C-alpha cells in the first residue's frame, strides 16, 4: 500500500486491505475505508496472523474466504470492534433515565409493573450494569424489570456475563454504590451482586441480522455503535429500533452520534437522547 510501511512484519496490499474492509462491512456493517484506518486494521489483525502462524495478509484473506475460515471470522470481527466503555459513561444519560424516563414508566406501566430495556452493544457489561443500578435505585424491587444486553463480540460478552471487574474499573462509582452493588472478589477484583445480575440477560447478536426479541421495549441504549455504519445502515437500524420500541419509548445514542437527517422516527429530547415520534 502506501510507502513508509516497509518495516511492517506482514505485507498488506491495497487489494487485501479493501477486501478485509468489505468483509467487515458485509458481515457487521462496519465501515473501515477511510483516512487513518489502514494502520488500525493492520495493528489489530496482525495479532491474528501471529496466532495462526500466517506470513501475510494475502494468506489471511484466503483463509477468511474459505470454508475452513468460518471459525476465524468471529475472531476477525472481534479484533476490529472497539470496546471502550466505563460504568456510568455519559453520566447525563443515567441522570435522565432516573429523573425522567423511569418515573414516567412507573406511571405508565403501573398495572403490569413491567419494564423492558435493551443495551445494544453492551461490550464488557459496564453499561447494562449501570442501567441495572439506576433501575434498582429508582424502581420498587417487586417490579418485573428485564434488561437484554447484546454484543457482536463474544469475548467481551463472556466478560460481561461474569460480572467481575478489577477495582480500577469501578473507581468512578461512588463508595455507597460500590458497597451496595458489589462484593469483594479475589485479589483486586470485585463482583457484581446477584440482584443486578438477575435483571440482565446477556446474548450474542449481530445488529445486521435477525433479532429474536419481541417488543414493545421501553428503552434502548445503542451508544457508540452506529458510528461504525454508513447512513443507509444507520437509517435502517433506526427504523428497526422504532418498530421495536413502545409508542413513547426512549433511545440513547453515543456522544458523537446523531439521528439528524438519518431518521424521522425519533425526536430529540435531550443531548443524544431521543423519543419515538407519535404515529
3-state secondary structure of 61: helix
Reference 208, options 164, 150, 257; nearest CA is 150
Q: Does 151 participate in catalysis according to the annotation?
A: yes
Q: Which of 44, 58, 180, 191 is catalytic?
A: 44
Tell me if 229 sits within 8 A of 256, measured CB to CB.
Answer: no
Q: Which of 116, 151, 223, 265 is catalytic?
A: 151
Angle (CA) 181-154-250 rounded to 5° is: 60
- Give the separation between CA 211 and CA 228, rounded to whole angstroms: 19
- Give the separation between CA 150 and CA 123, rounded to whole angstroms: 8
Angle (CA) 237-42-209 rounded to 5° is: 20
Reference 144, options 110, 95, 99, 194; nearest CA is 110
Positive or negative torsion for Cα 176, 180, 186, 189? negative
DSSP letters, 174-231, are: -HHHHHHHEEE-STTEEEE-HHHHHHEEEEE--TTS-----S-EEEEEE-SSGGGS-H
Reference 86, options 131, 134, 126; nearest CA is 126
- Give the separation between CA 158 and CA 133, rounded to whole angstroms: 20
Which phi and psi (to 5°) does residue 268 adopt? -75, 125
Residue 83 burial class via C-beta count within 10 angstroms: exposed 0-12, middle 13-18, buried 19 and up: middle
Catalytic residues: 44, 151
Amino acid at each position: 500500500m502506501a510507502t513508509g510501511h516497509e518495516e511492517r512484519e506482514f505485507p498488506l496490499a491495497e487489494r487485501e486491505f479493501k477486501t478485509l474492509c468489505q468483509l467487515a462491512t458485509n458481515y457487521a456493517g462496519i465501515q473501515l475505508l477511510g483516512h487513518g484506518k489502514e494502520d488500525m486494521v493492520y495493528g489489530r489483525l496482525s495479532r491474528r496472523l501471529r496466532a495462526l502462524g500466517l506470513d501475510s495478509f494475502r494468506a489471511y484473506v484466503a483463509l477468511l474466504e474459505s470454508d475452513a475460515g468460518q471459525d476465524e471470522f468471529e475472531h476477525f470481527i472481534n479484533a476490529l470492534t472497539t470496546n471502550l466503555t466505563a460504568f456510568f459513561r455519559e453520566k447525563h444519560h443515567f441522570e435522565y433515565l432516573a429523573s425522567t424516563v423511569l418515573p414516567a414508566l412507573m406511571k405508565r406501566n403501573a398495572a403490569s409493573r413491567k419494564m423492558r430495556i435493551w443495551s445494544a452493544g453492551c461490550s464488557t457489561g459496564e453499561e447494562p450494569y449501570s442501567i441495572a443500578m439506576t433501575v434498582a435505585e429508582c424502581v420498587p424491587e417487586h417490579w418485573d424489570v428485564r434488561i437484554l444486553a447484546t454484543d457482536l463480540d463474544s469475548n467481551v460478552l463472556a466478560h460481561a456475563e461474569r460480572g467481575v471487574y478489577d477495582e480500577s474499573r469501578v473507581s468512578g462509582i461512588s463508595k455507597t454504590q460500590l458497597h451496595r452493588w458489589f462484593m469483594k472478589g479475589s485479589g483486586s477484583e470485585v463482583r457484581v451482586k446477584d440482584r443486578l445480575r438477575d435483571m440482565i440477560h446477556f446474548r450474542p447478536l449481530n445488529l445486521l441480522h435477525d433479532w429474536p426479541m419481541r417488543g414493545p421495549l421501553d428503552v434502548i441504549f445503542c451508544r457508540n455503535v452506529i458510528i461504525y455504519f454508513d447512513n443507509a445502515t444507520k437509517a435502517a437500524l433506526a427504523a428497526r429500533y422504532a418498530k421495536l420500541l413502545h409508542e413513547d419509548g426512549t433511545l440513547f445514542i453515543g456522544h458523537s452520534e446523531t439521528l439528524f437527517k438519518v431518521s424521522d422516527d425519533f425526536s430529540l429530547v435531550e443531548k443524544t437522547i431521543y423519543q419515538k415520534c407519535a404515529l
